[in-house]
Structure 1
Amino acid sequence: MSTTERIIQAADLTYINNSLRSLNRDIEAVSQQVAGVGGELADTRSELARLEQAFMQFVAADLRAKELALAETRQIKIRQELETTYGYYAEVRRQATGILQAADVNVVRAETIKSATEGLMLSAPRYWLAPALVALAAWLNDQQDLAKRALAEAIRRDDEKTSLFFALISRRSGRGNACRVWLDRYFGMQDPKSLDRQSVILVDALASGIFGGEVRLQCTRRVESWVEELAAEVGFVETQREQWSDGLLTKLPDENRAGRYTHLSRFSPTWTELNASLNEAALHEVVRDHFVGIFDGPLVPARNIEAAVDDLLDSLVSNFDDEELPLRREDRLNQLVIEESGDRVAAQRRQSLETTILDERVSFTQLLTNAAMNPQLSKATRATQRYATALSRAWIRDAHDDLTASFRARVPGDIALSIEGWSGSTRSGENETELLGGLGAYLDAARDAALAKLKLGFKHWAAVVFGVFMLVCAFSAGWLLALVGVGSIGWFFAEKKKIDNARIRLAQEAAKKKEQCEQALKATLAELVEWRREYARRDEIAAEVTAFIDSISPEQHILASHDNVRRVMSAA
């Protein structure tokens, strides 16, 4: 072999050797990348799930923020419209008791009162109270003809409110006969199945004890006859249960307790039902506190009949009229959206439970429900709340028992669990050992499946066979084939080492993951035990609610008449 041939052969072998090394490095890099794809893919999926959840939370928060801003803007516009359209009603309302109090102390001239009321008549062309005040001023000035004409106009505009208004004024002035006549007129227009909202004033008057003995007896008998008439209807008991159930549900908490039960809310698909059941159980405490608050402490009656009637007159004239209802409903919805921090669905759900409170006409029993459960909207006094609750105690107890039974029936029995693709179920964590075994077996199977994929494949064994073949051929064909054979076999062992290292890493990661999942399962079961305890504790309060309601009676919660002893009879 010549020198030139030896130089060429050495150069060629060096190039081939370098190429094999480069190829080996490239294959090694690709192998490392492929080995990391599995872990990166799992991490990517987890990150995508987290990002999806974060995005949905962001969208929900953004929607709530926009709804909150819109509700605040709409509320301002609605209240401006109320002020613009019905603002003059407020001026008329302010004059009502002012005229009576001015007449009591005789510090305002009759001409001034007459001029003021006639001016109100001009500024409120549709409002019933304006001609009623003109009639009152004419009556105080002994102008009989003017009083009759103004009274006729007030009756034409709103007969019921006018009759109740003058019944209260007659009682204020101590004219029992006139009070009885006006009340007879008012009662004659009433249908216990369709009462106007101002009828709560009558219940206020009865509960506050402002009527004399004969008139008070007349009102009590009429109320009893209303209840008897309604009770004679088919399905009355069922209606009352449903009605009071809706009333009690207006107090239902809507709290997400995931912050307290972090693992249970994360690893249990049943969390929505668990959270709802806990809110339902919490209703018992809210209802108990509501009723205890109504009856807690003595009621201090007004110092005299004039002050007592003035309070009722303020309630009567300050109640908004039916024509304001659409705007008032919209205003209430926006207020609820603000209270719910922009959650319009929750606000609409609350308003649907309150809708009957703003209905133009309701049954007498619905009137009692509204007065007892939502005094701010129904304009009921605390005395009326007590009387309405006491009068409805049997219906309240039945409705509460129905709700309690339905709440208990909805409590999830088997609690679903889901951790890293594994699923199981438990009632109260009593099968913890079994669940841990199942979770461990699932994770071990997943580990074994992943390890099974990390093995020498066809290409690796083909490389060994090819390398051996090249080495055999090298005896007759030269060193070039020997180098190729050695490179192939070397690549085989390098790949085998990488696979062994990858299997070791996978086994370590699987062991760590198994430990974390088992800890998560134990924490979830511990929180489930705590959840059961909290639910049982809250559910026990249902018995306290029933006992408290049973202790109430209507007679114990009516103020004595102002004509004799003014005191509050002790509550049971």
Structure 2
Amino acid sequence: MSTTERIIQAADLTFINNSLRSLNRDIEAVSQQVNGVGTELADTRSELARLEQAFMQFVAADLRAKELALAETRQIKIRQELETTYGYYAEVRRQATGILQAADVNVVRVETIKSATEGLMLSAPRYWLAPALVALAAWLNDQQDLAKRALAEAVRRDDEKTSLFFALVSRRADRGSACRVWLDRYFGMQDPKSLDRQSVILVDALASGIFGGEVRLQCTRRVESWVEELSAEVGFVETQRHQWSDGLLTKLPENDNSQRYRHLARFSSTWAALNHSLNEATLHEVVRDHFVGIFDGALTPARNIEAAVDDLLDSLVKNFDDEELPLRREDRLNQLIIEKSGDRDAAQRKQALETTILDERVSFTQLLTNAAMNPQLSKATRATQRYATALSRTWIRDAHDDLTASFRARVPSDVALSIEGWTGSTRSGENEEELIGKLGAHLDAERDAALAKLKIGIKQWAAIAFGVLMIVFSISAGWFLALIGVASIGWFFAEKQKIAKAKVRVAEEAAKKKEQCEQALKACLAELVEWRREHARRDAIAVEVTNFIDSISPDQHILASHDNVRRVISAA
């Protein structure tokens, strides 16, 4: 070999050898990066899913916070508008029972009362109570002409409320004949299918024993005739079931149970239905406690007839008038949004169930439903709640049975589970071994697919073939080709070792993932078993509700003649 060839060979072999080592390191680094990218891609997908969920939760929380702030602002504006537009009504209302109480103790001159009521007449040009108070003052002052003119104006503005007002005033003054006349006038204007909301005051008076024996009998007969008239309507029973179902549903809780059943909430697409079913089952307990609270303890009558009637007069005059209804409805919606922490949809659903409570006109049976289920909105007393519940006992039981049946029909029988791409279903976790086996098979197949991708490819086989070829050619061409061949073969075995390590890593990660997924599945099944137990326990309370409703005597007691004696009246 000549000197020139030796120099070229030494120089070229050193450069090529270094280049091959550098190329091998680069390929190894790239291979590691590719494996790392694959792992990071899987992690990124998981993080993106969690980020998406967190983002949606943030958006929902932000919307609720904005709705809450807007509701609070709107409520302030609405109440300011109510005060500005109808605030002068409050002054008139404050005078109503004050005049009667002042007349009782005779500490205010009749001229003062007259002057005060006439001033109210000027400040409340459309309000029915202002001329009614003028008539009351004139009556106390024995000014018949003025009393008649003022009374005619009050009747013109609102005949029903004026008639009921003076029926109560007459009862307070123990003028039975006048009370009967005013009640006859009031009853004559009533349609049991379209009663004014103020009719609850009449029911209060009857249930509280305000009226004397003859007047009470008159009211009782009229109430019974209303029930008979309504019962004769086609579809009455169905209407009552629907009406009372809506009334009971106003008590439906809207709890988020995801913190107690975290794995089900995360891994089950059936969770929304499970959560709703649990809330529906919880309704039985709420309804039971509601009715038990109505009948728990004795009713305490007012100390005398004057105080009892004054309470009813307060209810009559303080309840808002029909012209205030639009603002009152909007105020109620904003109040519900605040109570629901900014969840406008939940507030609107709640208001939809309460809508009939604020209706200007309702049927007598709807009046009973409103009084029994929502006394705060309907302004009903506990005595009225008891009376309304007793009259409606059969309808309540039927509506509750209907709701119970519909709740049970909606309970999910099969619960879907989804864990890391695997899906399955169970009823009560009884097929745990089967699900674990299927989950394991799914994850094993996923692992095997990943391992199958980690194999010697065409590039590596080409490298070893090229290396062998170079070694064969080096027999006649010299050490240069032999060195290239050895380097190619060395790279092949390095790649093979790298793939073997990657397979070990994939197998270890797959085993860890399998263990975690199996634990998640077991946790889901354990929570489902607990959910079934809790649901069954809450659902069983439905029997207690039915038994309690059945235990209410068909002849519900009411206070009689404003004493501690109780009179039995017949229920529907």
Aligned to 1:238: 238
Residue number among 552, 556, 564 corresponding to 1:566 in the alignment: 564
- 1:7–1:296 CA distance, 2 compared to 1 (3 A): same
Q: CA deviation at 1:433?
A: 1.1
Aligned to 2:100: 100
Q: CA deviation at 1:425?
A: 1.1
Q: How does 1:195-210 map to 2 (within 5 A)?
A: 195-210=195-210
Corresponding residue SS for 2:210: coil
8 Å contact kept, 2:558–2:568: no
Corresponding residue SS for 1:558: strand
Corresponding residue SS for 1:424: strand
8 Å contact kept, 2:198–2:316: yes
Q: How does 1:171-570 map to 2 (within 5 A)?
A: 171-553=171-553, 555-562=555-562, 565-567=563-565
Q: CA deviation at 1:37?
A: 2.3
Listed one character per residue, the Cα deviations across residues 205-260 of structure 1 (whole Å, up to 9, x for unaligned) are: 00000000000000000000000000000000000000000000000010110100
Corresponding residue SS for 1:528: helix
Q: CA deviation at 1:570?
A: 11
CA distance in 2, matches of 1:18, 1:272: 64
CA distance in 2, matches of 1:561, 1:427: 60
Corresponding residue SS for 2:307: helix
- 1:2–1:541 CA distance, 2 compared to 1 (3 A): same
CA distance in 2, matches of 1:535, 1:406: 15
8 Å contact kept, 1:301–1:567: no
- 1:554–1:131 CA distance, 2 compared to 1 (3 A): farther
8 Å contact kept, 1:298–1:568: no
Q: CA deviation at 1:38?
A: 2.1
CA distance in 1, matches of 2:292, 2:567: 16
CA distance in 1, matches of 2:279, 2:523: 22
CA distance in 2, matches of 1:278, 1:3: 94
CA distance in 1, matches of 2:174, 2:45: 82
Corresponding residue SS for 1:456: coil
Corresponding residue SS for 1:425: strand
Q: CA deviation at 1:348?
A: 0.3
Q: CA deviation at 1:5?
A: 4.3
Matched, 1:168 2:168: yes
8 Å contact kept, 2:170–2:176: yes
CA distance in 1, matches of 2:97, 2:383: 21
Q: CA deviation at 1:553?
A: 3.1
Query: Which one is further off, 255-264 or 127-136?
Result: 255-264
8 Å contact kept, 2:555–2:568: no
Q: TM-score, normalised by structure 2?
A: 0.98
Q: CA deviation at 1:518?
A: 1.0
Query: Which one is further off, 254-263 or 129-138?
Result: 254-263
- 1:460–1:569 CA distance, 2 compared to 1 (3 A): farther
How many pairs were matched up?
569
CA distance in 2, matches of 1:555, 1:93: 37
Aligned to 2:40: 40
CA distance in 2, matches of 1:314, 1:387: 20
CA distance in 1, matches of 2:568, 2:223: 22
8 Å contact kept, 1:128–1:158: yes
CA distance in 1, matches of 2:168, 2:224: 21
8 Å contact kept, 1:255–1:279: yes
Letter of the structure 1 residue corresponding to residue 476 of structure 2: S
Letter of the structure 2 residue corresponding to residue 60 of structure 1: A
Query: Which one is further off, 5-14 or 51-60?
Result: 5-14
CA distance in 1, matches of 2:207, 2:124: 32
8 Å contact kept, 2:281–2:539: yes
CA distance in 2, matches of 1:462, 1:495: 12
CA distance in 1, matches of 2:567, 2:2: 132
Letter of the structure 2 residue corresponding to residue 275 of structure 1: N
8 Å contact kept, 2:9–2:480: no
CA distance in 2, matches of 1:117, 1:220: 35
CA distance in 1, matches of 2:386, 2:237: 21
Letter of the structure 2 residue corresponding to residue 402 of structure 1: D
8 Å contact kept, 1:129–1:162: yes
CA distance in 2, matches of 1:521, 1:570: 60
Letter of the structure 1 residue corresponding to residue 326 of structure 2: P
CA distance in 1, matches of 2:371, 2:566: 19
Gapped regions of structure 1 (runs ≥ 5): none
8 Å contact kept, 1:241–1:396: yes
8 Å contact kept, 2:447–2:507: yes
CA distance in 1, matches of 2:553, 2:122: 48
Aligned to 2:25: 25
Q: CA deviation at 1:7?
A: 3.0
Q: CA deviation at 1:136?
A: 0.1
Gapped regions of structure 2 (runs ≥ 5): none
Listed one character per residue, the Cα deviations across residues 234-293 of structure 1 (whole Å, up to 9, x for unaligned) are: 000000000000000000010110100111111111111111100000000000000111
8 Å contact kept, 1:170–1:179: yes
Structural RMSD (CA)? 1.2
8 Å contact kept, 1:329–1:358: yes
CA distance in 1, matches of 2:252, 2:106: 52
